[in-house]
Amino acid sequence: MRFLAVKLGRMARSVRGMKDLYGRESDKFDFIFNKFRLVGERYGFGMIYTPILEYTDVFYRSIGDETDVVSKEMYTFLDKGEESVTLRPEGTAGVVRAIVCEHLDQCLPVKLMYCGEMFRYDRPQKGRFRQFRQFGLEHVGDKSPYTDAITIAIAVDCIRSIGFCDFKILVNSLGDDETRENYTKAIVKYFSRHEDRLSAESRIRLKKNPLRVLDSKNKQDVEICSMAPILMDYLSKDSRVYFNKVCSLLEDYEINYEINHFLVRGLDYYSHTAFEILPTSGTYKEAIGGGGRYDKLLAILGGLDVSGIGFAIGIDRLMLLMDDFFVQQKKRKIAVIPVSEGEDSHAFSLFRDLQNCEMASEFIHLGSLTKKMKIADRLGCAIAIILGSNEIQNNTVTVKFMNSSDAANKTRSIRLSDIINFLRCN
């Protein structure tokens, strides 16, 4: 096949909606993941890596077969043993499946975080891919408004840890079984009155899973939904007390949130607290992340009847939003450049010293000085340390700030013995 493509003069393509990550983009990904992981560790979460492929049933049973994700977007196929398998469209179901299979729920609470590729057969557009990456975490076995508020706080801390502050938190409560039973009755009554104006898809959902009608993106459905009864008015007494406590804890935590009555999230397994994180600056308005509490998921997948809460943040979306400040946030890379071959070994020895001090650095020694400086620039180095024969004679180095517009401070002569300290402070 490969040879045939070459023969016909066609270039091999990557699958639509799936992209290669390298250079600046893979740097951004690593930067975000490392920061998020540190936040998760600070709150006591450990990493879990689950398979990318799960038996399809795991998603059918947990996410719900009337959701967009399951009904339209899954990459599902029969493997060679005729078993139906699916590339994971989200992380929670797989992590909970692992908790059940590995009997981790025997010792509660379980606090796990994950990061990896998810797959959804969606229409590719800005910030929406068919393969994308999520960082998420799950906290199972500690049902309390404190855990809900802490989980939202962790999501906030994660996003702030990369220096991104232009976002808001939307919260809602989906209540308990009693709440949803009463609410479902109310919206069935309401939507039935408007059934002839609903899209064909929403009419089917109205019969099978009425809450999902609220998820519709169809313009006319959205208009009808905007007048629908709100879930908050049907919260059971217990659910209301629970939600009020979550909100007051968020206030204590000084987390700005807005209550959004129509936030039901796209998946069936949520109960009680649901939340979403949206950007507030720029033109991109889609959610960066979201999560919520799930009371039934463990039991549905064969585990104990314990509740959990989690969230997932879409790393690719954050990468889109963080372009401007990433350059300043990124660890500065230093180029060590000998002027000529005579200084190679001195420069190499300095490069080793920088690496031993965990300073990101490159040893650039091939070609003319001009060429070496160009390479340093192309590799994204912010500082060049230049060693010529004069510098070696005087036990100094010349430090050049590559992006500085301040002519007086662009180039400095520093004593060789002071260079590590100088780099740490500048």
Which residues would be at the binding site for ligand AMP (CB under 6 A)?
90, 120, 122, 127-129, 132, 134, 266, 287-290, 312, 314, 316-317
Q: Which is nearer to ligand AMP, 121 or 422 (CB)?
A: 121
What minimum distance in Å lies between the beta carbon of 21 and ligand AMP? 13
Residues whose CB is less than 8 angstroms from the CB of residue 292 and which lie 6 or more positions away in sequence, other chains included: 174, 265, 270, 271, 272, 273, 274, 275, 309, 310, 311
- The full DSSP string for 136-199 is EEEEES--SHHHHHHHHHHHHHHHHHTT---EEEEEEE---HHHHHHHHHHHHHHHHHTGGGS-
Q: Which is nearer to ligand AMP, 127 or 388 (CB)?
A: 127
Tell me whether strands 110-119 and 131-140 are parallel, antiparallel or unpaired: antiparallel
Residue 70 token pair: 């399951």
Q: Token pair 């039901």 is at which residue?
A: 264
Can you tell me the distance from the alpha carbon of 135 to that of 316, in angstroms, rounded to the nearest whole number? 10
Q: Which is nearer to ligand AMP, 145 or 290 (CB)?
A: 290
Q: Which is nearer to ligand AMP, 116 or 388 (CB)?
A: 116
What minimum distance in Å lies between the beta carbon of 90 and ligand AMP? 5
Can you tell me the distance from the alpha carbon of 352 to that of 359, in angstroms, rounded to the nearest whole number? 10
Q: Which is nearer to ligand AMP, 149 or 288 (CB)?
A: 288
What minimum distance in Å lies between the beta carbon of 263 and ligand AMP? 11
Can you tell me the distance from the alpha carbon of 186 to that of 77, in angstroms, rounded to the nearest whole number? 38
What minimum distance in Å lies between the beta carbon of 114 and ligand AMP? 13
Query: What is the rounded end-to-end Cα distance, in angstroms, of the chain?
Result: 54
Q: Assess contact for 290 and 276: CB atoms under 8 A.
A: yes
- In sequence order, the β-bridge partners of residue 362 are 335
Q: Which is nearer to ligand AMP, 132 or 326 (CB)?
A: 132
Q: Which is nearer to ligand AMP, 90 or 295 (CB)?
A: 90
Q: Which is nearer to ligand AMP, 134 or 396 (CB)?
A: 134
What minimum distance in Å lies between the beta carbon of 266 and ligand AMP? 5
Which of 339, 342, 341, 361 is CA-nearest to residue 350? 361
Q: Which is nearer to ligand AMP, 290 or 388 (CB)?
A: 290
Can you tell me the distance from the alpha carbon of 138 to that of 43, in angstroms, rounded to the nearest whole number? 12
Q: Which is nearer to ligand AMP, 27 or 73 (CB)?
A: 73
What minimum distance in Å lies between the beta carbon of 290 and ligand AMP? 4
Residues whose CB is less than 8 angstroms from the CB of residue 69 and which lie 6 or more positions away in sequence, other chains included: 59, 63, 89, 90, 120, 266, 267
What minimum distance in Å lies between the beta carbon of 245 and ligand AMP? 24
What minimum distance in Å lies between the beta carbon of 214 and ligand AMP? 15
What minimum distance in Å lies between the beta carbon of 321 and ligand AMP? 10
Provide the angle, in degrees to the nearest 10, between the axes of the packed helices 24-42 and 145-161. 150
Instruction: Indicate the SS3 state at residue 17.
Output: coil
What minimum distance in Å lies between the beta carbon of 274 and ligand AMP? 10
Q: Assess contact for 245 and 145: CB atoms under 8 A.
A: yes
